[in-house]
Each structure stands twice: as C-alpha cells, then as structure tokens.
Amino acid sequence: MASRITKAVIPAAGLGTRFLPATKAMPKEMLPVVDKPAIQYVVEEAVAAGLTDVLLITGRNKTALENHFDRATELEANLEKKGDVDRLHKVEFSNDLADMHYVRQGDPRGLGHAVLRSRMHVGNQPFAVLLGDDLIDERDVLLSRMIEEQNKRDATIIALMEVDPEVAHMYGVATIEATGSPDVVRVTDLVEKPAQGTAPSNYAIIGRYVLQPDIFDILDNTEPGKGNEIQLTDALRTQAKNNVAGGVYGVVFRGRRYDTGDRLDYIKAIVQLAVEREDLGPELRPWLKEFSATLE
C-alpha cells in the first residue's frame, strides 16, 4: 500500500542557549555535525523515508535555515568557474532536497505549541514530526518502519528506545503493553520527564512521531504542563488514554541514535560519526587511540 504520508514537520524555533555564545547569531540547527549542519541530517532522513514536503517551525534569528535549503548563486557560480565539481555538488545538494516550507512560532511555548503551528499546512492527513536534537544513523531503519505501522494500524506511532533508568527523567516515558510484533508496543500512558526514580518504564520517547491530525484538537485543549509549556507528550497521553484516532503505538528502536542537544553529547556525536567516515576515519581512529592513551 502506498503511504498517504508526505509531510514532515521539524520544530526549529529553540534558542539554543546551551550552546551560547556559538548560537548568539546563528541557529543551533546550523551547528555542523562533522561538516554538515545538524538540520540537514534530519531533512535527509525525512526524504529517505519518502517524505517530500518539509515544514520547519522557525523563529527569530533563523534565516540561515532558509538560506541553507535555497540556492547560493554566487557561491555556486564561483565553484563552477573553478571547476570544483565536488564542492559544487555538496553545496547544491540541499537546494532541492525537499519542498521546503517555513512557519514561525512567535512565542516559544513548547513542543506541543510548535506542532500546533503546523496545523494549516498539514491539514487533515497523518504527518511526521522529527526533532532536530536526535540524529538517527542513516544505516538503521526507523521512520519508514513507523510510517509502515501507521499505514497498517491507522494510529499514532511514536519512536521509543530503552534507556538506562538513571536517565529516564530526561525524556517522555511510556507505559507499554506487548503486541504481536516484536518491535511494536501499545502505549497505554505517557509522562513527560518524570521525577527521578518515578519513571513507569525505561521506554523513552526519542524525537520521531507519526501523528494523526486529531492531535491538533487535542493540543488545542492541552493545558501547559512541564516547564509551563504545552507538551506534545501530554496530548499523546490524552490520545492514548482515550484511544482517540486508533490510539498510540510505539516502534522500539534498537539502532544508533546520536543526541546533539547538549555540548557533551554533541561532541560525542561528532566523534562517533567522524570515525566511521571514509574520508576522515582512517586518520582519526589511530589519532584518537593515541590521544586517549595520554588521558590514562
């Protein structure tokens, strides 16, 4: 069955305060992960899963994002003149990656509020939401598996990952029941960032969702929650508990995920991705070994 889902929504209005001063005049989504801005990995992932229409929820200071997914005529002409085909391809690659759209989130009032800003664009179709702080290794399947489940169950599908119970309080956490499929669970309840030691399980939400359009009405009626923000997790909880629009299922991801949300994880993500690159890995790996020996 061909998927009905064509639209991806990527919230990108955050201020990136954890990376100041780097993010003083530049969106955090443009921070390079090796040599590509973090946001491009996420857009590429959406496109690889067959989504052709990408809506970025932006805010003030985010024009660099629009420029990145547009032509850079002067730069392109310059590289062409020099015959630097390799770099020209790198520059041009993001121009036509997807049909890009932008809407602003005036007041950053939480992830649920950001998703609500996509309502007019999305309309009455299921759609995907991808959070930019989570990078999923392109060799591991997640989003297309979620879309497949959405098509099959006509329900909302969220991505879950088993995490160390010590860190469960940093995520939305699901109460789950098994289904007939080994990598799919039914979600019966959710809690956004539970107090340490109180998480109902170690199944954490990682930033991929395939949502039913019914989420918009639910979000509209969702009161501010954790951090006084409108939380997507709270709206999904309402959906799961009342079994609205097919309820909520989780696809359990067991692949490679890189967190770029804070400085330490960002550095780890860059090192992990760089050692595997053909152009950098062969030199970086022995250097890293030598360097780590000096730390003992």
Site residues, ligand G1P (CB under 6 A) = 111, 131, 133-134, 171-172, 192, 204-207, 233, 261
Q: CB under 8 Å to 244, separation ≥6 — which residues? A: 212, 214, 218, 238
**What is the closest distance, in whole angstroms, from the C-beta atom of residue 283 to ligand G1P in the complex?**
32
Question: Measured from the CB atom, is 173 or 244 closer to ligand G1P?
Answer: 173
Question: Measured from the CB atom, is 204 or 244 closer to ligand G1P?
Answer: 204
Strand pairing partners for 7? 53
**What is the closest distance, in whole angstroms, from the C-beta atom of residue 93 to ligand G1P in the complex?**
26
Q: CB under 8 Å to 112, separation ≥6 — which residues? A: 219, 222, 229, 230, 231, 232, 234, 235
**What is the closest distance, in whole angstroms, from the C-beta atom of residue 232 to ligand G1P in the complex?**
6
Question: Measured from the CB atom, is 37 or 207 closer to ligand G1P?
Answer: 207
**What is the closest distance, in whole angstroms, from the C-beta atom of residue 293 to ligand G1P in the complex?**
34
**What is the closest distance, in whole angstroms, from the C-beta atom of residue 76 to ligand G1P in the complex?**
35
Q: Residue 96 and residue 161: Cα distance in Å, rounded?
A: 32
Question: Measured from the CB atom, is 29 or 134 closer to ligand G1P?
Answer: 134
Q: Residue 247 and residue 151: Cα distance in Å, rounded?
A: 13
- In 3-state terms, what secondary structure has residue 130? strand
For residue 54, give the DSSP letter. E
Q: CB under 8 Å to 93, separation ≥6 — which residues? A: none
**What is the closest distance, in whole angstroms, from the C-beta atom of residue 171 to ligand G1P in the complex?**
3
- In 3-state terms, what secondary structure has residue 53? strand
Residue number closest to ligand G1P, CB atom: 172
Token digits of residue 217:
């009405």
Which secondary structure element, helix H or strand E, spans residue 187, and what is its range? strand 184-192
Question: Measured from the CB atom, is 72 or 270 closer to ligand G1P?
Answer: 270
Question: Measured from the CB atom, is 142 or 205 closer to ligand G1P?
Answer: 205
